[in-house]
Amino acid sequence: MSSIELKAVEKWFGNVQVIKGVDLAMEEGEFIIFVGPSGCGKSTLLRMIAGLEETSRGQIIVGGRDATAEPPSKRGLAMVFQSYALYPHMSVRDNVGFPLKSAGLPKAEIDAKVNEASRVLKLDDYMDRRPKDLSGGQRQRVAIGRSIVRDPTAFLFDEPLSNLDASLRVEMRYEIAKLHQSLKTTMIYVTHDQVEAMTLADRIVVLDAGNIAQVGSPRELYERPANLFVAQFIGSPRMNVMPCSTEGSTYSLPGHRGAAYDRAKPATHMGIRPEHITLGEVGTGVIDGTVDLLEYLGADTFVILACGDLGQITVRVTGNSDLKPGDKVGLNMDNKDLHFFGADGLAIMS
């Protein structure tokens, strides 16, 4: 079994609590990604699962057994770090096989496991090279291969792609996704990159100051954020959030027109994704704005608008745009695309 469960897990550094009673069950074969801003505790939580950080309180259950007090070597987990940590004087073959050689396995078994890892990771052409002769993506594949040969209960990845350039990150995302499909082993992955999280994860765990803000599939988090923090953290560009007030069946925005409100509780903030706003003539929408900046990205253009008391609002439009800075427009929004949040920051569902 490769399921992992955290039960009321806490981490204290002296008088500072950085992990605050986390409960989380990760099923066998799942791809779980921890995301959150710097300092939220995602890497610390991963290191606690690995046994590299002591657990102050709570339990870590690995494969049905309590592994809280076990050393890393007894947990059956393999960790891939941000740095490749390869031995520069060894060939790729020797780097990949080193954990098995250290464990005293017979040479024939080591060769078989190394060859299988090489096949899975497409390293056959590089097995006799040294790390200095490899690209960053190839080195990271070697580091992953060193983990694969151990046949671990689960793989733990700590921002493994952050040292790679943009094109290599895309390539390695694909490689890791295919690896998960092939091995069907539990993977827990830490990143600050939303694209990695959205494209790789079965479920995303959003961390905020040592607490879990929300757990769900990428689609659930994007379409139904549970609170303001998740709403503004997930999505690029992020959700537009603006203060609002509600009265009966109407909501209103400071300095702009009101519109229909269909929620049972009063709201203090309204949010909408950039792609859910359409632009039209002044006076035709809930909000009027002035084009401040255009960001052309080829398939999309981000139109950044100055909207008075509401500040800047970003709108995603397809392809090129005839708009130019200084143009005045109306912002149209369909009620079904709106998100409302209460004074406690929690989403108000329709």
- How far is the C-alpha of 309 from the C-alpha of 295, rounded, in Å? 23
pLDDT of residue 160: 85
Tokens of 21: 């009673």
Dihedral over Cα of 256, 262, 265, 271: its sign: negative
Mean pLDDT, consecutive 10-residue segments, the chain of 350 residues?
A: 90 95 95 94 95 96 93 89 84 90 88 88 89 87 86 89 80 87 92 91 96 97 96 93 92 85 92 95 90 93 94 92 93 93 93
Contact 32/2 with Cβ under 8 angstroms?
A: no
Parallel, antiparallel, or unpaired: how do β-strands 31-35 and 203-208 relate? parallel
- How far is the C-alpha of 5 from the C-alpha of 11, rounded, in Å? 16
- How far is the C-alpha of 187 from the C-alpha of 32, rounded, in Å? 6
pLDDT of residue 1: 54
Among 225, 260, 235, 247, residue whose Cα is nearest residue 341? 225
One-letter amino acid at 68 equals T
pLDDT of residue 283: 87
- How far is the C-alpha of 220 from the C-alpha of 189, rounded, in Å? 19
pLDDT of residue 99: 86
Strand-by-strand arrangement of the 269-272 sheet: 240-243, 269-272, 339-341, 347-348
- pTM of the entire predicted model: 0.89
pLDDT of residue 84: 76
Specify the long-range contacts of residues 148-151, CB closer than 8 Å, at least 24 apart: 148/78, 148/116, 148/117, 148/120, 148/121, 148/179, 148/183, 149/96, 149/97, 149/99, 149/100, 149/110, 149/113, 149/114, 149/116, 149/117, 150/78, 150/99, 150/100, 151/113
String of DSSP letters for 13-76: ETTEEEEEEEEEEE-TT-EEEEE-STTSSHHHHHHHHHTSS--SEEEEEETTEE-TTS-GGGTT
Q: For helices 107-121 and 92-102, give the axis angle rounded to 10 degrees.
A: 130
